[in-house]
Structure 1
Amino acid sequence: MRDDHEAPVVRFATLRQPLFRLLAINLAAGAVVAALLTGGLLLLNPGRLRDLIFADASPGTALGLLLFGFVVTFGSAAMGTAVMAMGQDLGDKGSRGGGHRLPTPRVPVRVRVSSPANAERPR
């Protein structure tokens, strides 16, 4: 019999870590985009891709590899974007680069260079 004062068993303890949760959410978002892109490719049938896939003896393998490649690509892009944007303040939309200064305009300056009298010039 279980005592009501016992601590509950923590499932999915890794989801309590903010970085892991951020990466998991963005991986899921990339997987959704990958699934939509795969479905769109099958729907539009560019270059008769759908016909080629379903004419194969095992279309599930081709679809699985296509979907896996898109999940890796778009999941990695979403996760990388999230990690690189971690230090930026979302409320600071007016500044470029998360509060960095704008570059100052460069003005050309004339510089005189004197060469030694006995130095030979390479030709």
Structure 2
Amino acid sequence: MSRPLLRQPLFRLLAINLAAGVCLATLLLGGLLLVNPGHLRELIFADNSPGTALGLLLFGFVITFGSAAMGSAVMAMGNDRRGGSRGGKRMIELFPGAEPIPVRAERSMQTRRRSEPGS
């Protein structure tokens, strides 16, 4: 059976990082229950339905850490982990053999006004 969705690199990247976020969220919830700050564990388990509170807490952590892991993975896609950078200063070659033209940029009027003496 072929899984065409798992063959797409972006989807695989997001799924792996979402799984890492879910694991981190689960570990954080377990650690929070273990440490019991402000008697949180006792408060949750004293309720008639502690599963609801645990589920909502885990859901919030999964959303937070899953999206943070996925977002950082997407933002790091342009970086080369070996020390170089694939993004940034490389020139997209729209026309083969084209050379960049140096252009002198002038400061805007607002910047000039702020930097003039006596302003």
Q: Calculate the TM-score normalised by the size of structure 1.
A: 0.68
Percentage identity across paired residues of the two chains:
72
Structure 2 Cα separation of the partners of residues 112 and 58 of structure 1: 69
Give a deviation string over 1:32-70, Cα, whole Å, max 9, x none: 000000000000000000000000000001000000100
Spell out the pairing of 1:50-89 with structure 2 (5 A cutoff): 50-89=41-80
Structure 2 Cα separation of the partners of residues 45 and 112 of structure 1: 60
Count the aligned residue pairs.
92
User: Which SS does the other structure have where 2:77 is aligned?
Assistant: coil
User: Which SS does the other structure have where 1:29 is aligned?
Assistant: helix
Alpha-carbon RMSD across the aligned residues, in angstroms, is 2.1
Structure 2 Cα separation of the partners of residues 111 and 39 of structure 1: 59
Instruction: Write out the 4+ residue segments of structure 1 that deviate beyond 6 Å after TM superposition.
Output: none
Aligned match of 1:28: 19
Question: Aligned letter for 1:84?
Answer: M
Question: Aligned letter for 1:18?
Answer: P
Consecutive unaligned residues of structure 2, counting only runs of 5 or more, are 90-114
Consecutive unaligned residues of structure 1, counting only runs of 5 or more, are 1-8, 101-109, 114-123
Q: Calculate the TM-score normalised by the size of structure 2.
A: 0.70
Structure 2 Cα separation of the partners of residues 24 and 34 of structure 1: 15
Alpha-carbon offset, residue 112 of structure 1? 5.7
Which structure has greater helix proportion? 2
